[in-house]
Amino acid sequence: RTYYTYFAREFDAIYAHFGQSTFAKPYLKNVDNINGIEGTGSTAYYRAKDKRSPHNAYASFAGIQRAIGQLHYSQEYDPEYEGHFLFARTGKEAELKGADAREAWKVRPGYKYNDPWFEYHEDDGLYYRYQYGDVHKGDEGPIAVKNIIIQYCSAGYYATTDYRNINVHEDSWGYFITGGKAEDITWKKDGEFGVTHYYDATGEEIVLNPGKTWICIATTNDMGMAKIEGKN
């Protein structure tokens, strides 16, 4: 998707992908990328027999590393990259105390497809993710994060196709959730390829708590389904 290339460029990342839409392909020139169906694709990816094609393509860390070497991509950050976020100092929790701060023990971003939500666990201060009616698990067990950012974007479709065109450049708003509370935020992207910054109601850049952060990119049409619930 076109907007994936902007996210990859924003984080100065190497974008590994298998296939591309016709609309997104021209944007690949803007980012170091490893294409699964062209060039070094057979180096980074392989086909397994557990599923039918085209849903049986996998990548391995070793294969991606070999492809990076063949493409001569750097794995060091560009000197101009200054990072994305502000973090609270170790041992000093960032608390949401603004006038619009409210309890956030159960959070639904508003997606319809897999009906995801997050639940806050006070014992460890983490938000656990659920989808399809059950716990969302990764290789290390249930997925849990310290911070959640919900970023609402205007969106449409390319021509008469089903390909989403999400506008990740036009300033909009969302939510920042951490420590059992939520607040309204606005967001702004620095130019076409720059960093996205998030601001609280006073115009100050938000401060994240050290730990994992889950950023939900949702459309403005999803806002009606979003819900933030308190403890009781």
Identify the three-state secondary structure at position 154: coil
Identify any residues that bridge with 229 across adjacent strands, giving them in sequence order. 106
98 in Cβ contact with 202 (< 8 Å): yes
Pick from 53-57, 75-79, 196-200: least confident: 53-57
| pLDDT computed for residue 82 by the predictor | 83
* Six token digits for residue 157: 């479709």
Burial of 175 (0-12, 13-18, 19+ CB in 10 A): buried
For the cut 90, the answer to whether the pLDDT of residue 55 exceeds it is: no
* Six token digits for residue 110: 């508003």
| pLDDT computed for residue 33 by the predictor | 93
Phi, then psi, of 209 in degrees rounded to 5: -85, 140
Of all residues in the chain, the percent with pLDDT exceeding 70 is 100
| pLDDT computed for residue 215 by the predictor | 96
Could you tell me the pTM of the whole model? 0.89
| pLDDT computed for residue 53 by the predictor | 84
Average of per-residue pLDDT values in the chain: 91
pLDDT band at 153 (very low <50, low <70, confident <90, very high): very high
Q: Which of 82, 91, 117 is nearest to 10 (CA)?
A: 82
Q: Are strands 147-153 and 144-145 parallel, antiparallel or unpaired?
A: unpaired
pLDDT band at 122 (very low <50, low <70, confident <90, very high): very high
Mean pLDDT of 151-167: 86
> CA Rg, the chain, in Å?
19
Pick from 11-25, 123-137, 166-180, 189-203: least confident: 11-25
Burial of 45 (0-12, 13-18, 19+ CB in 10 A): buried
Identify any residues that bridge with 160 across adjacent strands, giving them in sequence order. none
Q: How far apart are CA 148 and CA 124, in angstroms?
A: 15
Mean pLDDT of 18-22: 82
